[in-house]
Amino acid sequence: MFGTQSQRDLPLEFQSQIPILRPSIHTRRANLTVKFQDLYGFTVEGNVDDVNVLNEVREKVRQQGRVWWSLEANKGANWYLQPSISEGIALKSSLKFSALANAITLKRLIRKGIPPVLRPKVWFSLSGAAKKKSTVPESYYNDLIKATEGKVTPATRQIDHDLPRTFPGHPWLDTPEGHAALRRVLVGYSFRDSDVGYCQGLNYVAALLLLVMKTEEDAFWMLAVLLENVLVNDCYTNNLSGCHVEQRVFKDFLDKKCPRIAMHLEAMEFDVSLVATEWFLCLFSKSLPSETALRVWDILFYEGAKVIFHVALAIFKMKEEQLLITHHVGDVISILQRTTHHLFDPEELLTVAFDKIGSMTTNNISKQRKKQEPAVMKELDQRFRRLNSLKLDDK
């Protein structure tokens, strides 16, 4: 598998994973567009300024890696799995203080980024995927894949249709081996949860998980914990009711956090779901450079779905002045797409997301969801009735 880790010394491997990008002297003089591969094999286009940003980011990643290695050396390889004060475990005062200190340290570290080589094990542990996997027989995934071989469903047909369209041109994903691995993960999950089955967007999420995790099976369990524990219910079901709720909640937060932008877009009759739906369904995997998207996912798997709202709002906030002078829907879409595709510096994005957007608690988001659910369900029911009426008219 592309990006599979070997048993080499991790700090050395970590250093080798993060190359310095060096455009030619001719490219630097002409300020031409350059193409290069990022850490996960995606071809990236940018100018020399973008390359300089990436090199600065990668140097910060190296420095952050040294912090993680130091903590592992001092506290042990799995120091971040020590009991937390929120788990209801009876701890002595000294242990409570230690757990609190660890939690604060961990949250700060994760927001600064998990070193790529540690990402698989940290995600797997902290997201709850390891715990979820431990509740079933060891052979669960292999048995599931064997049981689904040769079975054809609407989900498998759609998966087969989407495989070649998932990150085309990637050196591993766009190969027979990559297609086969992605298909097994997606088909396996479609049988695990028939309510979800398969929804377009999951192919991009699962593909990126495959590039990060050490094994195909670990990618499957990360997908399971993401859909079953991290994200809102019904986000990927047939009627996408959860996704519709998220879009309404996001619009509410845009009104509160970025009122000038919200008023301007409303005057233009611009529906924010035109851009935000893909962000929420694909978790920025299609829109942000992979190294930036995975920094978002670092926080998502630890802090939960509120992170998606923070980041989505930050993208609008970063381009507030440009958006306020737009007059056409197409211009808004163009600005946001250009912004996301060239966000090579995750620090810039995440600083706005968490320092300038303001607090959004999971509890507050849950209240907003409950507030929006009745209207969404009513709208979906009306749509269903109209479709049935049209079908009857055709007969």
DSSP letter string, 335-373: HHHHHHHT---HHHHHHIIIIIS----HHHHHHHHHHHH
Give how many domains the chain has, as a whole number: 3
**What count of other Cβ atoms lies within 10 Å of the Cβ of residue 195?**
9
Query: Residue 326 maps to which CATH number?
Result: 1.10.472.80
Residue 123 in domain? yes
**Taking Cα atoms as reference points, which of 237, 157, 136 lies closest to residue 193?**
237
Domain check: are 59 and 175 in the same one? Answer: no
Domain check: are 382 and 291 in the same one? Answer: yes
Is a pLDDT exceeding 90 seen at residue 338?
yes
Percentage of the chain lying above the pLDDT 90 cut? 69
Domain check: are 249 and 153 in the same one? Answer: no
Residue 87 in domain? no
Is a pLDDT exceeding 70 seen at residue 95?
no
Domain check: are 353 and 272 in the same one? Answer: yes
Is residue 312 within 8 Å of 252, Cβ to Cβ?
no
Is a pLDDT exceeding 70 seen at residue 112?
yes
Of residues 229 and 29, more confidently modeled:
229
DSSP 232: P
Is a pLDDT exceeding 50 seen at residue 14?
no
**Taking Cα atoms as reference points, which of 313, 250, 312 lies closest to residue 284?**
312
* pLDDT score for 13: 40
Residue 19 in domain? no
Q: How far, in Å, CA of 303 to CA of 360, rounded?
A: 12
- Residue 35's SS3 state is strand
Residue 278 in domain? yes
Residue 25 pLDDT class (50, 70, 90 cuts): very low
Q: What is the pLDDT of residues 241-275, one digit of tens each?
A: 999 999 999 999 999 999 999 999 999 999 999 99
Of residues 392 and 269, more confidently modeled:
269
DSSP letter string, 62-101: HHHHHHHHHHHHHH-TTGGGSPPGGGT----HHHHHHHHH
Query: Residue 192 maps to which CATH number?
Result: 1.10.8.270
Is residue 182 within 8 Å of 163, Cβ to Cβ?
yes
Is residue 154 within 8 Å of 123, Cβ to Cβ?
no
What is the pTM (predicted TM-score) of this model? 0.88
Is residue 61 within 8 Å of 18, Cβ to Cβ?
yes
Instruction: State which of 176, 200, 229 marks the end of a domain.
Output: 229
Residue 317 in domain? yes
Which amino acid, residue 318? M
Is a pLDDT exceeding 60 seen at residue 8?
no
Tokens of 198: 């398969």
Instruction: Give the domain range for residue 314.
Output: 241-394
Domain check: are 385 and 254 in the same one? Answer: yes
Domain check: are 55 and 186 in the same one? Answer: no
Domain check: are 314 and 185 in the same one? Answer: no
Mean pLDDT of 9-30: 47
Mean pLDDT of 169-173: 96
Angle (CA) 160-165-167 rounded to 5° is: 125
CA-derived radius of gyration, the chain: 22
Of 83-97, 229-243, 335-349, the range with the lowest mean pLDDT is 83-97
Is residue 37 within 8 Å of 44, Cβ to Cβ?
yes
Is a pLDDT exceeding 50 seen at residue 109?
yes
Domain check: are 142 and 43 in the same one? Answer: no
* pLDDT score for 276: 97
| Cβ neighbours of residue 138 closer than 8 Å, sequence gap 6 or more | none
Domain check: are 185 and 215 in the same one? Answer: yes
Residue 294 in domain? yes
Residue 318 in domain? yes
Mean pLDDT of 218-233: 95
* pLDDT score for 384: 75
Tokens of 322: 């440009």
Instruction: Give the mean pLDDT of the chain.
Output: 87
Phi and psi, residue 78, nearest 5°: -115, 40
Q: What is the pLDDT of residues 280-323, one digit of tens each?
A: 999 999 999 999 999 999 999 999 999 999 999 999 999 999 99
* pLDDT score for 22: 56
* Interaxial angle between packed helices 119-126 and 290-303, expressed in degrees from 0 to 180 and rounded to the nearest 10: 30
Mean pLDDT of 43-66: 88
**What count of other Cβ atoms lies within 10 Å of the Cβ of residue 11?**
15
Q: How far, in Å, CA of 67 to CA of 326, rounded?
A: 44
Domain check: are 368 and 329 in the same one? Answer: yes
Q: How far, in Å, CA of 242 to CA of 280, rounded?
A: 10
Is a pLDDT exceeding 90 seen at residue 12?
no
Top mean-pLDDT range of 7-21, 97-111, 198-212, 376-390: 198-212
Residue 12 in domain? no
* Strand partners for 37: 43
Tokens of 120: 């698989």
Top mean-pLDDT range of 56-65, 102-111, 217-226, 369-378: 217-226
Of residues 329 and 94, more confidently modeled:
329
Percentage of the chain lying above the pLDDT 70 cut? 85
* pLDDT score for 156: 97
Q: How far, in Å, CA of 346 to CA of 330, rounded?
A: 26
**Taking Cα atoms as reference points, which of 211, 209, 146, 205 lies closest to residue 175?**
211
Domain check: are 388 and 246 in the same one? Answer: yes
Domain check: are 123 and 220 in the same one? Answer: yes
Instruction: State which of 165, 198, 229 marks the end of a domain.
Output: 229
Top mean-pLDDT range of 11-15, 55-59, 151-155: 151-155
Which amino acid, residue 185? V
